[in-house]
Amino acid sequence: MGLLGGCQTPPAPRSLPHRPAEAAYIPASATIALSDGRRAPVRLYPATAPQRGVILAFHGFGDSRDAWEVMAPALNRAGFLIVAPDVRGFGEFPAKGGWSTTDRMVADAVEEARWCQQHWPGQPLHLMGESMGGALALLTSTALTAPRPDGLILLAPAIMTIGEPWQTLLEGWNLITPQARLTGAHMPGHHVATANLRAIRRMFFDPLTRHGTNVHALRGLTHLMAHALEQAPSVQIPTLLVWGDRDQFVPASATRRLIRQAPPSLFRLDELPRGYHLITREPQDRPAKDIISWIERPDRFLPSGGDSAATMWLWLEQTR
């Protein structure tokens, strides 16, 4: 239920004072034809230096292809093109009942990865995902056969189980009232998704942002997250795992369990100091600098110091 914090509550965004840029609609740069006849809207963030790689980026729950507006410029300046599709059920890519299925979402992502490889042959391809998108990116990496992606970047990934009896209760709720509406108002307490007020206002007023969900979609999300955790040991490509030390939505216990499940020789850990859940909205290009450094020189320490922080965090967790 913590992930509902990303779903804003009434009043409607259009009824509140805002600048036109905050509510700007950015049309899709392209659409990708999928095997079931649907077309996935895609926003391209072009490289502003000589292009030397492609990053296929999957957004989080309730978000859209606009999720990368804060992070993209730094990656673009480093020569990386970002291909950001709307995940099925979000943005301009609706799904029946508000949620597709894990298999169909992974199939979409695999076809989008192949599309990238066909359009930019010979260029390195990295998969990147934030929160829900992290679970989708991990599953996509394990589903792709040769040629495999060159790397996997997980940003505050929602890769976990909600445990019992909560999963059973959610399954029963889904049988009774699958379309019951849920918003952040259903989540107790006060939670901060990011300290970047400008970015959170843009997300709130963005016409592509989903401001609520339903029981069926929440249940689908838990299945996606749990399946990603099951597949974590099957990852076969170098992976950068980034999370914020102030993340209030993905519990530290879930991150610890993911690390235990994952192949240690392939996972580089990066705990971003003073980082919140929405890693893509972090100011000062902190996550982007770490990503660029890891891709270019994976043997070097990360600019944020997050690898050292992650080592200390792991040691403290193991000694409790």
Q: How many domains does the chain have?
A: 1
Residue 194 dihedral angles phi and psi, to the nearest 5°: -160, 150
- By CB neighbour count within 10 A (0-12 exposed, 13-18 middle, 19+ buried), where does 209 fall? buried
32's enclosing H/E stretch is: strand 30-33
Range of the domain at 283: 2-318
Amino acid 151: pLDDT: 98
DSSP state of 277: S
Amino acid 18: pLDDT: 83
* Calpha distance 279→285 (Å, rounded): 10
Amino acid 61: pLDDT: 96
- By CB neighbour count within 10 A (0-12 exposed, 13-18 middle, 19+ buried), where does 227 fall? middle
Sequential pLDDT tens for the chain (320 residues):
444 444 444 567 767 878 889 999 999 999 999 999 999 999 999 999 999 999 999 999 999 999 999 999 999 999 999 999 999 999 999 998 889 999 999 999 999 999 999 999 999 999 999 999 999 999 999 999 889 999 999 999 999 999 999 999 999 999 999 999 987 655 656 688 999 999 999 999 999 999 889 999 999 999 999 999 999 999 999 999 999 999 999 999 999 999 999 999 999 999 999 999 999 999 889 999 999 999 999 999 999 999 999 999 888 877 76
Q: For residue 11, say if its preceding peptide bond is cis, omega within 30 degrees of 0.
A: yes
Amino acid 5: pLDDT: 45
* Calpha distance 143→234 (Å, rounded): 10
Amino acid 11: pLDDT: 63
CATH number for the domain harbouring residue 32:
3.40.50.1820
Amino acid 58: pLDDT: 98
Amino acid 191: pLDDT: 80
